[in-house]
Amino acid sequence: MTASIRYQGQLRTEAVHLYSNMTIQTDAPLDNQGLAQRFSPTDLVATALGSCMMTIMGIKARDLNIDLTDTKIEVKKIMASDPRRISAVELTFHLPTKGVSQKDKTILENAAKHCPVAKSLHPDLVQAVVFNWAD
């Protein structure tokens, strides 16, 4: 097993990662009867996409001896209705890396776009990704 999830009532859950014992709590969003005091499950999906892309970029960057420390990602989740679902995730990367060749930038960007989460999401979900390289 990967995790154990307990419903806490009032549209909230707590998930425990069984390997590390770390926890994540969720809350329903304001537009779906919640208080939005924690990540919603759909927020976690959008955030997981950005985290996965960054992790895969980090692996490739390490192979290329490039330091991506302090890269930031802005995540915007867009919801649709009928049925209620995530219709798009917009990710804007801010990479503070100077002196990275265009070839390496292309390699890193392609690595990100092929992360397991990106490949696991439904093809109708728009993944709009922008890479801003600080030079």
Shared-domain flag, residues 70 and 24: no
Shared-domain flag, residues 7 and 66: no
Domain count, the chain: 2
Q: How many residues does the chain have?
A: 135
Q: Please give the residue range of the domain that contains residue 56.
A: 41-133
Shared-domain flag, residues 7 and 71: no
Q: Residue 93 and residue 96: Cα distance in Å, rounded? A: 10
Query: How distant is the alpha carbon of residue 111 from its chain centre?
Result: 14
The tens place of each residue's pLDDT in the chain, 135 residues long, gives: 999 999 999 999 999 999 999 999 999 999 999 999 999 999 999 999 999 999 999 999 999 999 999 999 999 999 999 999 999 999 999 998 788 999 999 999 999 999 999 999 999 999 999 999 986
Shared-domain flag, residues 69 and 16: no
Shared-domain flag, residues 16 and 46: no
pTM higher than 0.85? yes
Shared-domain flag, residues 52 and 11: no
Q: Residue 135 and residue 121: Cα distance in Å, rounded? A: 32
Q: In this structure, are residues 94 and 58 in contact, taking their beta carbons and an 8 Å threshold?
A: no
